[in-house]
Each structure stands twice: as structure tokens, then as C-alpha cells.
């Protein structure tokens, strides 16, 4: 496979809100690249001869002077340079236009964390926009969407020195086609890059995510796990492989028997834990391949290349892996974070309409959890585009970063899944696709939440996508028995995720057995 070019298409330009650590991260990246970082705020202070606070308070055209300086810096920046910009510089249309020639890196920080950092540094004295907490939080909310819109890469808050670990991913991004996006996932047990862009599912694109993950094929061979439907469509796009194992497609093949077949194929190919697995396919393939990678020789890296909507918005991230038992879904598994994820929305063009619709249910679930702009777009019936996929991934990564092992916040992602998983098991994993079952589970969860108007809207949206809103093929008792085997049960108690309003979801609610029975019975024809 040909080497991927390393020369960036422009400078690395860091943007973000006050307190995000742009200057610190810029210094770290510049040190690794062997260049001198440029800080627009510091340079502007030098030119003015006094502090930015004085200039801002003086009302003497601060933004115009900032705009002129930043545009000058961007126009003269060499490829590979590192520049950090003041938080408000991107309000200028001229600056936004100039940024298009560079790799824009957003350092993301929550409003509360930003306030804590800024107020602890100087009490806001040197930051005119940080003197009032409520105004500060409102300004953060106002700017967030603009930052995300401009960003080619989005990094979480990083401790000093950590930025060096992202450099391989940033270089891969800079070598990719314009329009490619990078998200950096971080959790308690690991971190990894997510590259998203049209046309990435090709040999060069796969090499980029491997390179970003530190898995160059000169020292780590790739073995592909896929299914019999996806293999002929995309298998040849992965470049040279140590081998491939293609299981039959479908949830009913996510079993220990299939795992053994993959383990045997890895052994036959001479794969070692220095090599890596590529999981090419949907959620079933991702779960199975991740499980096999986590357990083969006690663990080897896995790179996810999701080809379904469900996997691109949800299943490929967060490290949950596993296989099903006949009576219980995902009962056998481990947490194993991926080494990297490559998302090519073009792969959805070969997806059957039924699979697209089933995957859309995870978009609906995510929108109910997120609320805000994502909910507005999904509930109004807008089609799923790259912006929507990116928003879903951002939420998933943020939730996992806060709670990797389902100790609290991550349980929110189980919305609709308790009854959904039970429906899959009760129908022998044959009658409903995962998303279809979760859609029915969402209706049950919304009934249990007492959110009648929201349930009616969700039902309309499911019908509009050609998804089932009634349950057949299993009795109420079949589903209740399967719920009793749910892996989230602790003792005799099974916590439920309930929705009070879009964006307002509780994760540890107790539901009376008769209420649950009634909600399930309402689904049965």
C-alpha cells in the first residue's frame, strides 16, 4: 500500500472558548512539530502596548484590530505552523473565510469547566467577558455551535503534554481531503481518533486511521472481520490483509460459535497481538469483532469501519463488545475501546432501506437524550446527513468520557433498549432488526415516562420511516420473561431510563412490574 503523504494542507489553527487551554496545547503541538507557536492574543498585546482588557474596555475598535491581525497571521501561515486564536476572533466573517485554508482544531470545554478555570486564574479581571458568571455561561452557549461548525478537528480538554498524543491523528486529518472531520475520543481506559468523511473507505483512508492510531502496517498486520453481505462490497478497499473472516449476516449469528470461527481464523493466519483487527460492517460485526480482539491472546487492537447507520452513529464507539445467548442479548462480553474509528457516510448508499430505517432509531434515541438542535432536526423529519451523524457521535463520546462502565451517566444510552433487547430475544433474533426492536422499546419507555405527547410524536416518526409500531411474533409474557434476564438487573431490581422531555432523561428509575406489563401489552396486536 502506498505511503500516505504527511505534508499538511495548511497551518494547525486552534480555536475555542476562554479557558480551553489553546495556548498550552499550541505550545505542546509546536514542540512536537519543531516550530514556534503563534498566539494571536499575545501578539496583539505586544502591538498595542497594553493589555487586551484595557483595549476591550476602551471601546476603541478591539474586534477590528483583532480581525486585521488574525487575517494577517492566517494569510502568511506556512503548512505545519501552529496558531492559537482568541476566543472571539471567529466572530469575524473575514477570519472564518481565511480559516478555510487551514486545519481548524477546536479545543472543547464545558461552560462550567471554562468558568472554573478562568475564575481561578485571575478572577476574570483580565477577561472583560468573564466578570459575570451567568453572562459567561450564556456566551459559551451562544458560541458553541459556531465553533463546532468551523472545526475540522474537535479535541476534549487536555492536560499539559497530552496534545502530543493527538499529533498522528491531526497529521492524518491534514493529509485527508477537505471536509474530513476528526473527533478525539477519551475515556478512563483509553483514547482514540475518529475520522469521518466521504470517500474515506478506501485503502488510503484505512491507512490513515491506522496511522492515526499508531498501527502502521509495516509493523502491525490487519485482519478483517466482516459479514457475508459487506465483504464483497467493501472488503477489497482495505488493502493487503493478513486474512479475513466473514460470518453470516444478522444478529442471530452474533454467537460464541461465530466467535470461535473468528478466533480459529486469526490463529490460522498467524495473527499475533501486535497485529490488529478491522471490524468492517454494522453493529453485529463491531460487537463480535471487538469481543474477539479483546480476548484473542488476551487482547489486540481493533479498528472499526462501520458501514451501517446504526454503527456510524452509535455502535462503533464506547468499547462495548460481546455476543448473545439464546435467551439474553449481549450477555457475554467485555469493554474494549477501539484503537480508531473510520466513518465514511458514502457506505450508507449500499444499505437497504430497511437497514437505514432501523439505524435511524438510534438517531431518534440520541436526539431524545440530547434535546436542543439535534432534537429539532430529527423531530421535524430532516434527513440524516453528516451533520446529524457527527452530532450523534459527539454525544456518544461525551457520555462515554464521563462514564465508561455504566456506573451512572452512560446508562442514558440504554433508552428503549431494555424492552427492545427483550423483544429481540423473545423473537429469537429473527423477526426484528435491532433498531426496529429498539423503536418498539422507545414507545414502551415513553409510555412508562408518562410522556404522552412525545410518545405520539415518536410513533408518527417511526411510521414515517416505515418502522413497526406494533409487536407481533411474541406474547407479553415472552417479553416479560426476557426482560427478567436483562443484564442490567441488579438483584431483583432493573433500572429503567425514562424521558421527561427531550434533553431531560433520568437513568435510574424503578418501574412497577404491572406498569411494564401494561406498556408491553399496548404494543401487542
Q: Considering the chain, what is the average pLDDT of its residues? A: 93
The predicted model gives 480-509 an average pLDDT of 88
- 187 closest CA partner among 506, 406, 17: 406
Q: What crossing angle do the helices spanning 283-295 and 256-268 adopt, rounded to 10°?
A: 60
Is residue 126 a contact partner of residue 54, using CB atoms and an 8 Å limit?
no
Helices (H) and strands (E) in the chain, counts: 21, 16
| Cα–Cα distance for residue pair 209/343, rounded to 1 Å | 10
Q: For position 237, what pLDDT does the model report?
A: 96
The residues with which 185 forms a beta bridge, in sequence order, are 192
Q: Residues, the chain, total?
A: 525
Per-residue CA distances from 310 to 160, 185, 392, 473 (Å):
35, 18, 10, 24
Q: What is the pLDDT confidence band of residue 53, given thresholds at 50, 70 and 90?
A: confident
pLDDT above 80 for 490 = no
- Whose grid coordinates read 453485529? 284
Q: For position 158, what pLDDT does the model report?
A: 82
Q: What is the pLDDT confidence band of residue 157, given thresholds at 50, 70 and 90?
A: confident
Q: For position 471, what pLDDT does the model report?
A: 97
Q: For position 59, what pLDDT does the model report?
A: 62
| Cα–Cα distance for residue pair 504/279, rounded to 1 Å | 34
Q: For 404-431, write each residue's pLDDT tens digit.
A: 998 889 999 999 999 999 999 999 999 9
Q: What is the pLDDT confidence band of residue 8, given thresholds at 50, 70 and 90?
A: low
Q: What is the dihedral of CA 466, 389, 189, 116, to 10 degrees?
A: -120
- 153 closest CA partner among 394, 398, 338, 396: 394
DSSP 408-458: SGGGGGGTTHHHHHHHHHHTTTTSS-HHHHHHHHHHHHHHHHT-HHHHHHH
- 154 closest CA partner among 397, 318, 413, 409: 397
- 84 closest CA partner among 60, 105, 111, 98: 105
Q: What is the H or E stretch that residue 460 is in?
A: helix 452-464
pLDDT above 90 for 31 = yes
Is residue 470 a contact partner of residue 525, using CB atoms and an 8 Å limit?
yes
Q: For position 491, what pLDDT does the model report?
A: 66
The predicted model gives 54-80 an average pLDDT of 88
More confident site: 105 or 177: 105
- Whose grid coordinates read 503541538? 29
pLDDT above 50 for 168 = yes
| Cα–Cα distance for residue pair 474/428, rounded to 1 Å | 10
Contact residues for 314 (Cβ-Cβ < 8 A; gap 6+): 283, 362, 366, 392, 396, 413
Full-prediction pTM beyond 0.85?
A: yes
pLDDT above 50 for 117 = yes
pLDDT above 60 for 505 = yes
Q: For 432-444, write each residue's pLDDT tens digit.
A: 999 999 999 999 9
**∠ CA 462-415-259, rounded to 5°:** 95
Per-residue CA distances from 205 to 74, 153, 209, 212 (Å):
28, 16, 7, 11
**Which domains are assigned to the chain?**
12-175 (3.40.50.300), 182-351 (3.40.50.1970), 409-521 (1.20.1090.10)
- 196 closest CA partner among 312, 24, 55, 83: 312
| Cα–Cα distance for residue pair 324/250, rounded to 1 Å | 12
Q: What is the pLDDT confidence band of residue 6, given thresholds at 50, 70 and 90?
A: very low
| Cα–Cα distance for residue pair 271/273, rounded to 1 Å | 7
Per the rule left: phi > 0, alpha: psi between -120 and 50, beta: everything else, 332 is: beta
Q: What are phi and psi of 246, to 5 degrees?
A: -115, 115
- 277 closest CA partner among 322, 231, 234, 340: 340
Q: What is the pLDDT confidence band of residue 327, given thresholds at 50, 70 and 90?
A: confident
More confident site: 162 or 103: 103
Query: The sheet that has 340-343: what strands, in order across it?
Result: 38-39, 82-84, 12-15, 103-107, 153-155, 181-187, 190-196, 340-343, 302-306, 276-281, 222-227, 243-247
Is residue 279 a contact partner of residue 342, using CB atoms and an 8 Å limit?
no
The residues with which 15 forms a beta bridge, in sequence order, are 106
The predicted model gives 354-367 an average pLDDT of 98
Q: For 331-351, write each residue's pLDDT tens digit.
A: 999 999 999 999 999 999 999
Q: What are phi and psi of 343, to 5 degrees?
A: -115, 120
Q: What is the pLDDT confidence band of residue 1, given thresholds at 50, 70 and 90?
A: very low
| Cα–Cα distance for residue pair 506/486, rounded to 1 Å | 19
Q: For position 417, what pLDDT does the model report?
A: 96
pLDDT above 90 for 493 = no
Contact residues for 93 (Cβ-Cβ < 8 A; gap 6+): none
Q: What is the pLDDT confidence band of residue 5, given thresholds at 50, 70 and 90?
A: very low
Q: What is the H or E stretch that residue 116 is in?
A: helix 111-122
Q: For 218-250, write each residue's pLDDT tens digit.
A: 999 999 999 999 999 999 999 999 999 999 999
The predicted model gives 113-135 an average pLDDT of 80
DSSP 45-60: HHHHTS-HHHHHHHTS
Q: For 363-390, write each residue's pLDDT tens digit.
A: 999 999 999 999 999 999 999 999 999 9
Q: State the Rg of the chain over Cα.
A: 24
Amino acid at each position: 500500500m502506498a505511503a500516505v503523504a504527511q505534508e499538511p494542507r495548511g497551518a494547525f489553527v486552534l480555536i475555542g472558548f476562554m479557558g480551553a487551554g489553546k495556548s498550552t496545547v499550541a505550545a505542546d503541538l509546536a514542540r512536537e512539530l519543531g516550530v514556534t507557536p503563534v498566539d494571536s492574543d499575545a501578539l496583539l498585546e505586544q502591538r498595542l502596548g497594553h493589555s487586551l482588557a484595557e483595549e476591550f474596555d476602551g471601546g476603541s475598535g478591539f474586534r477590528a484590530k483583532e480581525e486585521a491581525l488574525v487575517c494577517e497571521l492566517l494569510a502568511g501561515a506556512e503548512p505545519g505552523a501552529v496558531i492559537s486564536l482568541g476566543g472571539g476572533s471567529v466572530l469575524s466573517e473575514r477570519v472564518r473565510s481565511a480559516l478555510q485554508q487551514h486545519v481548524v482544531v477546536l479545543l472543547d470545554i464545558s461552560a462550567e469547566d471554562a468558568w472554573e478555570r478562568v475564575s481561578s486564574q485571575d478572577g476574570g479581571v483580565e477577561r472583560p467577558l468573564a466578570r459575570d458568571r451567568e453572562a459567561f455561561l450564556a456566551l459559551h452557549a451562544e458560541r458553541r455551535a459556531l465553533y463546532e461548525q468551523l472545526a475540522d478537528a474537535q479535541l476534549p480538554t487536555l492536560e499539559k503534554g497530552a496534545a502530543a498524543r493527538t499529533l498522528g491523528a491531526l497529521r492524518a486529518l491534514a493529509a485527508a481531503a477537505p471536509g474530513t472531520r476528526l473527533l478525539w475520543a477519551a475515556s478512563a481506559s483509553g483514547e482514540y481518533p475518529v475520522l469521518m468523511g466521504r470517500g474515506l473507505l478506501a485503502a488510503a483512508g484505512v491507512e490513515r486511521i491506522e496511522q492515526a492510531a499508531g498501527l502502521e502496517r509495516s509493523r502491525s498486520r490487519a485482519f478483517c472481520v466482516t459479514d457475508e453481505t459487506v465483504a464483497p462490497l467493501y472488503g477489497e478497499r482495505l488493502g493487503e490483509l493478513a486474512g479475513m473472516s466473514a460470518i453470516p449476516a444478522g444478529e442471530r449469528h452474533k454467537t460464541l460459535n461465530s466467535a470461535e470461527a473468528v478466533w480459529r481464523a486469526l490463529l490460522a493466519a498467524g495473527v499475533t497481538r501486535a497485529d490488529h483487527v478491522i471490524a468492517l460492517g454494522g453493529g453485529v460485526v463491531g460487537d463480535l469483532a471487538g469481543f474477539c480482539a479483546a480476548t484473542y491472546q488476551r487482547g489486540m487492537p481493533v479498528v472499526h469501519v462501520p458501514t451501517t447507520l446504526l454503527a456510524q452513529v452509535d455502535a462503533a464507539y464506547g468499547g462495548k463488545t460481546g455476543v448473545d445467548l439464546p435467551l439474553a442479548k449481549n450477555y457475554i462480553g467485555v469493554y474494549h475501546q477501539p484503537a480508531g474509528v473510520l466513518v465514511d457516510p458514502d457506505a450508507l448508499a449500499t444499505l437497504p432501506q430497511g437497514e437505514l430505517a432501523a439505524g435511524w432509531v438510534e438517531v431518534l434515541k440520541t436526539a431524545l437524550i440530547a434535546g436542543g438542535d439535534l432534537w429539532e432536526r430529527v423531530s421535524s423529519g430532516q434527513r440524516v446527513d453528516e451533520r446529524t451523524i457527527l452530532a450523534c457521535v459527539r454525544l456518544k463520546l461525551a457520555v462515554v468520557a464521563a462514564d465508561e462502565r455504566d456506573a451512572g451517566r452512560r446508562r442514558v444510552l440504554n433508552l428503549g433498549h431494555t424492552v427492545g433487547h427483550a423483544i429481540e430475544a423473545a423473537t429469537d433474533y429473527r423477526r426484528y432488526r435491532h433498531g426496529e426492536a429498539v423503536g418498539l422499546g422507545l414507545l414502551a419507555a415513553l409510555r412508562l415516562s408518562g410522556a404522552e405527547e412525545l410518545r405520539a410524536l415518536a410513533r408518527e416518526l417511526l411510521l414515517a420511516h416505515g418502522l413497526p409500531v406494533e409487536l407481533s411474533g411474541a406474547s407479553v409474557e415472552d417479553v416479560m420473561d426476557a426482560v427478567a434476564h436483562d443484564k442490567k438487573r441488579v438483584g431483583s431490581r432493573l433500572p429503567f431510563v425514562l424521558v421527561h422531555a427531550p434533553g431531560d432523561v433520568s437513568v435510574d428509575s424503578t418501574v412497577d412490574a404491572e406498569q411494564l406489563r401494561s406498556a408491553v401489552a399496548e404494543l401487542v396486536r
